[in-house]
Copies of this chain bind each other. A is one copy, B any other.
Amino acid sequence: MHATARAAMRSVVGPGHFRETDGELVPYSRDATPLFHARPDAVVFPADTAEVAAVLDIATRYAVPVIPRGAGSNLCAATVASRGGVVLVLTRLNQILEIAPAELLVRIQPGVTSAALADAAARDNLLWAPDPGSRTVATIGGTIATNAGGLRGLKYGVTRDYVLGLEAVLPTGEVIRTGGRLHKDVAGYDLTRLLTGSEGTLAVITEATLALRPAPATAGTGVAYFPDLAAAGRAVTAIIAAGILPATLEFLDRSCVRAVEDFARLGLRTDAGALLLFGDDGESDTVARALERMSDVCTAHHALDVTTAAEVAQAEALLAARRCALPALSRLGELTILEDATVPRPRIAEMVDRIDAIGAHHGVTIATFGHAGDGNLHPTCVVKSQDDADTIARAESAFADIFAAAIDLGGTITGEHGVGAAKLPYLTMQLGADQITLLRRLKTAFDPAGILNPGKLGS
């Protein structure tokens, strides 16, 4: 990195917010993705939009890669400095600027965490619907940049469905405002949605206007055990076919249930092949009716055992079982490789069978949990030792096969985690060469100098 660029950026943010020593760079050399790391040349912490614009302007002039980042909790190596440069950390832009209950919206800076936004909305009896697993640490900027999903996708959609407007800084330093406070606005190309999920490769989001919903009056959850995941998958298809679109439809396979029970002692039944969590929210009689109907469908589809939680506290405990699937599995080894291949809902059972066969073929154990209602599976491989290169290589081969299987079944290599550096090698298989060429032209339209998060989406 050019010394003049370094000095200019330091001068923009102030010496206290420009880090460049080895010790300061280490925490920003990786994100939550295992196996990917690269040391940046510097880390800058701008205070506001003007400082972001100034940093980007310098970066474009001196051809310095800039990697925008919040908490770095993404799982696709989207914020690793693959080609060096400057990690641009947006956590100082951490204000909720406005909550407007009459308009069901919030105006917010990118550094606020998803959980903090949800808490603030709840105080006004409003719901921030997107609910990624990393919600307590993930920032809203990253939530938008990855179009994060989560546990409520089936009923409430994903982050994209809640982004009304953005302020963003182009790599060349111009500040644009897309969309606004309206649910209906068709003035111009939909840059709001194009920036959502663009993984920090097109522009840096410095403010967002997000839609909230009225908070549901109550919520309820049930649990059903099945002989295997395929049977649970058939029950999920039957629930949707019955015209129910519930807030929660999550499943865990036997390995996950056992890991969770070992970890959290929730009293789960560990002899079944699969656990299905189902739940809904809304007015209490509607919720009760939905739970009863889903219970009946599970029973009709050979559930071994079905119970519903009569109280919110019990329902929360059941959801906690799902939320701790990843930490529970992670305890089993030094390295946890978590993926999110996604297939059409009716193909879940088939996909689960394929994952099992692929794991067996490569000699690795793959546990699967995920958002059954979305067909969004999280096959997970835990490797005992970080130094076991052979097992890691076999796990990577297995996941390559899993991506191919997802595409073959009409699905995607990534339902909610993103492409980043981790999935870029598989993207052509998903989109085809013509579309990849088009993505590159789009990237260039935003970022002619190619400074924003190079080596990721659009490269």
When the two chains form the complex, which single residue of B174, B194, B286, B411 contacts A286, counting CB atoms closer than 8 Å?
Answer: B286
Contacts of A184 in B (CB 8 A): 149, 153, 158, 342, 371, 374-376, 412, 415-416
Nearest Cβ distance between residue A204 and chain B, in whole angstroms?
14
When the two chains form the complex, which single residue of B158, B185, B243 contacts A215, counting CB atoms closer than 8 Å?
Answer: B243
Interface string of A164-191 (1 = CB under 8 A from B): 0000001000111110111111111111
| Beta-carbon contact of B197 and A183 below 8 Å | no
Q: How far is the CA of A342 from the CA of B187 in the complex (A)?
A: 11
Is A410 on the interface with B (CB-CB < 8 A)? Answer: yes
Contacts of A116 in B (CB 8 A): none
Contacts of A343 in B (CB 8 A): 182
Q: Which residue of B lies closest to A434 (CB)?
A: B174
| Beta-carbon contact of A197 and B191 below 8 Å | no
Contacts of A410 in B (CB 8 A): 180-181
The 27 listed contacts between A and B (C-beta, < 8 Å) are: A102-B241, A157-B183, A160-B193, A161-B161, A170-B434, A176-B438, A178-B435, A180-B412, A181-B344, A181-B410, A182-B343, A182-B374, A184-B374, A184-B416, A185-B342, A185-B415, A186-B412, A186-B414, A186-B415, A187-B412, A187-B414, A189-B194, A189-B197, A189-B458, A190-B194, A215-B243, A441-B446
Nearest Cβ distance between residue A415 and chain B, in whole angstroms?
4
Of A29-37, A248-256, A322-330, A423-431, the one touching chain B: A423-431
| Beta-carbon contact of A103 and B414 below 8 Å | no
Is A390 on the interface with B (CB-CB < 8 A)? Answer: no
Q: Using a CB-CB cutoff of 8 Å, which residues 243-296 of chain A contact chain B?
A: 243-245, 283, 285-286, 289
When the two chains form the complex, which single residue of B345, B417, B432, B458 contacts A103, counting CB atoms closer than 8 Å?
Answer: B345
Is A419 on the interface with B (CB-CB < 8 A)? Answer: yes
Q: How far is the CA of A198 from the CA of B186 in the complex (A)?
A: 9
Q: A193-B193, A194-B190, A241-B102 are in contact. Are A182 and B412 (CB under 8 A)?
A: yes
Is A297 on the interface with B (CB-CB < 8 A)? Answer: no
Contacts of A146 in B (CB 8 A): 186
Contacts of A176 in B (CB 8 A): 431-432, 434-435, 438
Contacts of A197 in B (CB 8 A): 186, 189-190
When the two chains form the complex, which single residue of B175, B183, B214 contacts A434, counting CB atoms closer than 8 Å?
Answer: B175
Q: How many residues of A contact B (CB 8 A)?
A: 87
Q: Which residue of B lies closest to A147 (CB)?
A: B186
Interface string of A86-117 (1 = CB under 8 A from B): 00000000000000111110000000000000
| Beta-carbon contact of A103 and B446 below 8 Å | no
Q: Using a CB-CB cutoff of 8 Å, which residues 300-330 of chain A contact chain B?
A: none
Q: How far is the CA of A446 from the CA of B427 in the complex (A)?
A: 19
Is A442 on the interface with B (CB-CB < 8 A)? Answer: yes
Q: Given A104-B245, A186-B416, 12 more contacts at CB 8 Å?
A: A103-B344, A103-B346, A104-B240, A147-B186, A181-B410, A184-B371, A184-B415, A186-B414, A186-B419, A193-B193, A213-B245, A214-B243
Nearest Cβ distance between residue A197 and chain B, in whole angstroms?
5
Q: How far is the CA of A8 from the CA of B93 in the complex (A)?
A: 57
Is A68 on the interface with B (CB-CB < 8 A)? Answer: no
Nearest Cβ distance between residue A32 and chain B, in whole angstroms?
16
Is A196 on the interface with B (CB-CB < 8 A)? Answer: yes
| Beta-carbon contact of B412 and A374 below 8 Å | no
| Beta-carbon contact of A430 and B374 below 8 Å | no
Nearest Cβ distance between residue A234 and chain B, in whole angstroms?
10
